[in-house]
Structure 1
Amino acid sequence: MPKVHLTGEKATMLATLYGRALDAEAPGSILHDTMAVEAVKQIDFDFSKVGLRRGDHGAVALRGRHFDGWTREFLAAHPDVTVLHLGCGLDTRVYRLDPGPGVRWFDVDYPEVIGLRRQLYPPRAGYEMIGSSVTDLSWLARVPGDLPVLVVAEGLVPYLREEEGKELFRGIVHHFPGGQLVFDALSSSGIKISKYDKVIRAAGATVSWGVDGCADLEAIDPRLRCVTSMSAFDIEGFEKLRASYRVFIKVARFFPVIKKMAGVYRLEF
């Protein structure tokens, strides 16, 4: 069993993996990520320390299902495409979606994270893992830039420093002929209150890049257009969450400052 010694933003992926595994074992599972269950069983780590509260797994699975849906939409419209899953952690999206032969899929994360993935998950055709910080743009040289690209960055953007994140977005836009970037982000207010988040505190992680709307994102590069901007509280399926979550979401929807603290975005270029 591989031992895990991760800290900071790298450690937050363990909470996400655990949440998806708990969801897969729960009645009425949202994501059905059975590979997450097997991964948790194989890792030598005390998952009770990741900071997830009882019932949190539903929200983790719901976010994952939302990004799976956006990914499926893009792949259906572009059978020949490159997918970049940035800050992939131990996510099993490529296995859940099982893309067709025209898809080149790259999972990118720190070398120690990719090393753990190689121990847990099998190889598959058209799939490559790249061990690198996503902000060290030298990794882009390993990815052909001839096809449209879908960039999936679930749970990544808040952990990037703002200027590094903007350089990452610009580097991708200049490397590919066109495509989409889909990701979630915290607002400036959301960044400030994140110090109370139990998962972030348990990992000893720091978040810094706050996104306050489409104007912030479109200013990064003139080719970027914001085609979808929505509150994370408007993701479909919140009725499946535990009662306390449902009450909080209903209240948050009446207060714009709270509602805008967490958002999901889709950019095109």
Structure 2
Amino acid sequence: MTQPSKVDFSDVRWGSVEWTNLGTLYLRACESRSPQPILGDDEAAEAVGRINYDWARMRRYMRPGSNQWLVALRAEQLDDWSADFLGRHSNAVVLHLGCGMDTRAFRLHPPQDVQWFDVDQPNVIELRRKLYDDRAGYRMIGSSVTDVGWLDEIPTGRPALIVAEGLLMYLHEPEVRTLLQRLTDHFACGELLCDTLSPMGPRLSKMSTNGIVKWGIRDVRELERWNPRLRFLEQTSALAGYERIPSAPPRLLYRLMYATSARRYDVLNRFAF
């Protein structure tokens, strides 16, 4: 069998948004190769295998032995909620906002009639197109989610699944409010899946990451007051499911974090509208 040719990503600048997306992809790939994977993202492993990059340096920085599990736990919960929605709405429109290099559109194997749109900044989508192509039922859109116009390209008249993983905390609160309003105005019904940080997130970010985290929220039900169309369904900690980590040292670490207020720092939320 002919092996797929390597794709050169060597020009991705260390520390850039694109680099962060590659790092998350790498962690999911590492987790998929573990003896007892939680997420088992084989699509990520295949993508990493095709990419020419300094993975040894990435490994030293990302420390997958401990960090891959948080990425896997978060993604699997969102995958489970997504699969549940698609199982009930086989003709849905899916918006994956801030998709990065995520392979959710492929690992979920959505029903044939689903129309899936991966949306991210133009430079991220340009990088993504080195690996993937638009095809029937799947399209990539290069745009900031806060820009006006890209949503006009998305069909209405179908149930909508909106997934915003690792996105909203990087927007200012007025941008979050406006985006949610535009989304619920565009669709008749659907679900919103998103993760949010506590108000500690922006404060910690100012000390460690130059303030790239802009927004945190203590009680996610406040979104219902912002937007009456949103109806809270459920919430879980991003650390939930830590007991499934097969390696004892990181499992103990995650258990200790879950026993403290850290379990409320990063949470996954499910809303209907």
Partner of 2:21: 13
Q: Report the Cα offset of residue 237 of structure 1.
A: 4.8
Deviations 1:85-124 (A, max 9, x none): 0000011111111111221100000111111211102443
- Give the letter aligned to residue 229 of structure 1: Q
Name 2:125's counterpart in structure 1. 114
C-alpha separation between the residues in 1 aligned to 2:174 and 2:250?
A: 34
Q: Does residue 156 of structure 1 match 2:156?
A: no
Q: Identify which of 11, 23, 27 aligns with 2:31.
A: 23
Q: Which residue of 2 aligns with 1:213?
A: 219
Residue 263 of structure 1 aligns with which residue? 267
Shift of 1:194: 4.4
Paired residues, what number?
262
Contact persistence 2:70–2:238 (CA under 8 A): no
| Residue type of the alignment partner of 2:255 | K
| 1:1-269 mapped onto 2 (5 Å cutoff) | 1-2=8-9, 3-5=11-13, 7-47=15-55, 48-49=57-58, 51-55=61-65, 56-194=67-205, 201=209, 206-234=212-240, 236-240=241-245, 242-255=247-260, 257-269=261-273
SS in structure 2 opposite 1:80? coil
Amino acid at match of 1:252: M
Query: CA offsets per residue over residues 17-37 of structure 1, 9 Å max, x none?
Result: 010111122222222222222
Between the aligned partners of 1:209 and 1:226, the Cα distance in structure 2 is 19
Name the CA distance, whole Å, in 2 between partners of 1:54 and 1:233. 16
Distance 2:251 2:149 in 1: 43
Contact 1:22 1:57 in 2 (8 A): yes
| TM norm structure 1 | 0.88
Report the identity percentage. 41
Contact 1:82 1:105 in 2 (8 A): yes
Q: Deviations over 1:125-172 (max 9, x none)?
A: 211110001111311010012111100111112112221121111100
Unmatched segments (≥5 aa) in structure 1? none
Contact kept? 1:12, 1:205, Cα under 8 Å? no
Asked if the contact 2:12/2:18 (under 8 Å) is kept, the reply is no
Q: Which moved more, 1:214-223 or 1:68-77?
A: 214-223
1:224-259 deviation line (CA, Å, top 9, x unaligned): 11111222222x35431543433343333443x332
Task: Output the aligned Cα RMSD.
Answer: 2.2
Amino acid at match of 2:230: L
Structure 2, unmatched stretches of 5+, are 1-7
Q: Is the 8 A contact 1:186 1:263 kept in 2?
A: yes
The residue identity in structure 2 corresponding to 1:267 is F
**Distance across 2 between alignment mates of 1:239 and 1:99:** 26
Higher relative contact order (CA 8 A, sep 6+): 1
On the 8 A contact 1:9/1:159 being kept in 2, the answer is no
Q: Flag the 1:268–1:216 CA change in 2: closer, same or farther, 3 A.
A: same
